[in-house]
Structure 1
């Protein structure tokens, strides 16, 4: 093939590719693109805004209908239709700016093709047509990206120029005046849109800064609480641990029961110190509590026997019953189940000393069932137990409910026949991962 043919074929291919890209861009921008969401002030006053726009453009629409009928010779039927479309398009542009622009542009072309101007009438737009077309372009520039507004502006002016040249190739100042008006309205609309976007970004940044400040304040408060807890509680727990370790050596021939109780006191004090340090680490962490907790060892139901033994060592009779296939669960379910049982047992220790406790754990196909119940304590007139923490000064039941609610489970508590109290919880196995 001759070299010239190759050059022509290559040039034609590049031109076709560029034309295809331009067509796709215009189709995406001027057919399928969605406008920006209406500003909140527009949404709040949208009915009033539509009525106001209709009130303003209605007189202009009447003028446009009269122009189309009497000055451009379109006849009453066609003149009413083509004269009414632009004002209706202005009202619709609040919600559908691109479609409204298409409506006024097509209407302008139809008027230019079908009109028979009488004398020196404006062409290709009527006087009212220029005003209404500019209004639609203004709203479009407010609601759409600047590139789309520029494309709509260019097509509007180009369509007017083609109609003018087709009708009369002589100089037509009406086209220049319309182009200047359209450019000004689009520039003003784009500037207002840019100002609105800048204000929105500033508000978002201000909100983000406020959230960061609140987060920093919370972190500082947590650090202060952690420091105070460490200074006060950790010191006393350390003293308890040391005293429990030294106490057997201060008594001549201490009994085995005394030794075991002191060993239990020291073990509980050491465990409490470890738990306290873990919580203090979470309080000092800059991460979210849930993410910080994932980086430290969490108690699970594997330590249930150890927990029950501690309560038995305090003098309570505890019976445990585990049903179903015992297996490892998600960390959130394991931790919540352990804490619920732990809090229930602690409430019995505080509020129903001497009561008999029954702990039931049921491994089911879709959930984990927990039940902690205690009999009435020996002391006459006392009706308390696993749920009493919520009735007194603590937050036992509240904490249990919150844990169950976070996992999407079910929780119930209340007195049981014959005296005593029970807490029942069901945790779905698919939560808490």
Structure 2
């Protein structure tokens, strides 16, 4: 309860201190007090009216500038008027002392810290010069001003430094939060791609092999055929649920950069094609042209995943179709072409599918381009050209 009360008071005080009319009100009040005090002193001392008016004008000059001038101009004007009041006329009011401390603090907080420190220095020599008797009111005010002026200036400077530190700390926290969010989104995108490319690939093979075994095994009992059919249905249901999970993972990843860790590569491509051939029971050929060159590991991973996804799509949408995988090595590029002799692309993309977008992301991540569509003479065609070395952005 106390913390809330004191916090509310501090917030109320902060708002009062930074209000747009606060300098005007403070300067006007201090000017009235300074003029009243100066006239009271001159009346008691019996000086001439002209001298009294001059002292009153100096009192105004030491208090009124904060109401109309910027922090730097107000501090310079008030300091000059205060020095002029002390040096020739040996006069200083309590309101003038308060105004001098206020403008120094204000300058240190909102203006130049060096100027605030310099403007606080002239009062020490004036106090040491003993322009007024030490026991007099002006002498006491001069000593107080020499002692408190540097404190006011440095207090303003410290408050400014604290505000800047808080601002920098907030900016650092915002940058850290953004970096962590970007990292998390990139990791979700990587997990989504790996689930789609690896786990979904194997589940799809389970469904294809179960269906193939049920249809090609002669003399299979009805119970065995029913179990294989159930295995295929379960695998397809798992694929559907995985697509929903991938949709959630991809929901806010945007264009996150693909992971380029060199896991599988083109050396494992033959095993991948053998696995696809065994699963579907159809012809799958690998055709290599040109002189094989060393590729960036990220490029090899992208090429492997693109072929893997293309084979999975062929088994899913063109069961029984033969597939040709062509690798064409040229100077600085690898041209990849996967074609099946199935019915061609469906009239509408399947709901929840991420295969084609995933392949495009793989190609774009290493600086390549990917095209898909109907193949000449029938079937479906996937073409991409990848650089031999992955292109980095940034």
**TM superposition score normalised by structure 2:** 0.50
Equivalence map 1:76-225=2 (5 Å): 88-90=69-71, 100=72, 107=77, 110-111=80-81, 120-122=91-93, 128-139=99-110, 155-165=118-128, 168=131, 171=134, 172-178=139-145, 179-180=147-148, 183=151, 186-187=154-155, 190=158, 204=173
Unmatched 5+ stretches in structure 2: 1-14, 36-52, 214-256
Whole-angstrom CA distance in 2 between matches of 1:346 and 1:161: 87
Asked if structure 2 preserves the Cα contact closer than 8 Å seen for 1:407 and 1:432, the reply is: yes
SS in 2 for 1:327: coil
**Do the aligned partners of residues 129 and 195 (structure 1) sit closer, same or farther apart at CA in structure 2, a change above 3 Å counting?**
closer
State the Cα distance separating 1:181 from its structure 2 match. 6.7
Q: Is the 8 A contact 1:138 1:189 kept in 2?
A: yes
1:190-218: CA deviations, max 9, x gaps? 479659968958x959x88xx79x98xx9
Tell me the equivalent position of 1:424: 383
Q: Determine helix, strand or coil for the equivalent of 2:21.
A: helix
- 1:279-294 superposed matches below 5 A: 294=261
1:56 aligns with 2:37: no
In the other structure, the counterpart of 1:349 is 315
Deviations 1:335-393 (A, max 9, x none): 11111011102211222123343333344555443332223x2xxxx4448x99x6266
Aligned to 2:298: 332
Q: Structure 1 stretches (4+) deviating beyond 6 angstroms?
A: 61-69, 290-293
Question: How far apart, CA to CA, are the structure 1 residues paired with 2:132 and 2:385?
Answer: 85
Q: Distance in 2 between matches of 1:368 and 1:338?
A: 12
Distance in 1 separating the partners of 2:20 and 2:331: 64
After TM superposition, give the deviation of residue 57 of structure 1 in Å. Answer: 2.4
| From 363, 368, 372, the counterpart of 2:338 | 372
Structure 1 equivalent of residue 373 of structure 2: 414
Query: Is contact 1:311–1:318 with CA below 8 Å preserved after alignment?
Result: yes
Q: How does 1:358-369 map to 2 (within 5 A)?
A: 358-365=324-331, 367-369=333-335
User: What residue in structure 1 maps to residue 244 of structure 2?
Assistant: none
Q: Aligned partners of 2:290, 2:64: CA distance in 1, in Å?
A: 80
Which of 353, 357, 361 aligns to 1:402? It is: 361
In 2: Cα distance, 1:397 partner to 1:54 partner: 60
Compared CA separation, residues 121 and 169, structure 1 to 2 (3 A): closer
Residue 65 to residue 192, structure 1, CA distance change in 2 (3 Å): closer
Distance 1:291 1:405 in 2: 9
The aligned counterpart of 2:47 is none
Whether 1:299 aligns to 2:264 is yes
- Go from structure 1 to structure 2 and tell me whether the alpha carbon gap of 1:113 and 1:72 turns closer, same or farther (over 3 Å shift): farther
SS at match of 1:173: helix
Equivalent residue of 2:92, what SS? coil
Which residue number corresponds to residue 263 of structure 1? none
RCO higher in structure (CA 8 A, sep ≥6): 2
Residue 423 of structure 1 aligns to a residue whose secondary structure is strand
Count of residue pairs brought into register by the alignment: 288
- The gaps in structure 1 that reach 5 residues or longer are 1-48, 91-99, 245-289
Do 1:333 and 1:431's aligned partners in 2 also have CA atoms closer than 8 Å? no
RMSD: 5.8
User: Distance between the aligned counterparts of 2:64 and 2:327, measured in 1?
Assistant: 79
Check conservation: 1:60, 1:87, Cα contact below 8 A. no
Correspondence for 2:248? none
Cα distance, 1:420 vs structure 2:
2.3
Is the CA contact 1:72–1:118 (under 8 Å) kept in the aligned structure 2? no
Q: 1:425 to 1:159 in 2, by over 3 A?
A: farther
- The 3 A distance-change label for structure 1 pair 56 and 393 is closer
CA distance in 2, matches of 1:366, 1:65: 81
Q: Secondary structure at the match of 1:131?
A: helix
Tell me if the contact between 2:24 and 2:66 (Cα under 8 Å) persists in the aligned partners: no
Q: Give the secondary structure class of the aligned counterpart of 2:386.
A: strand
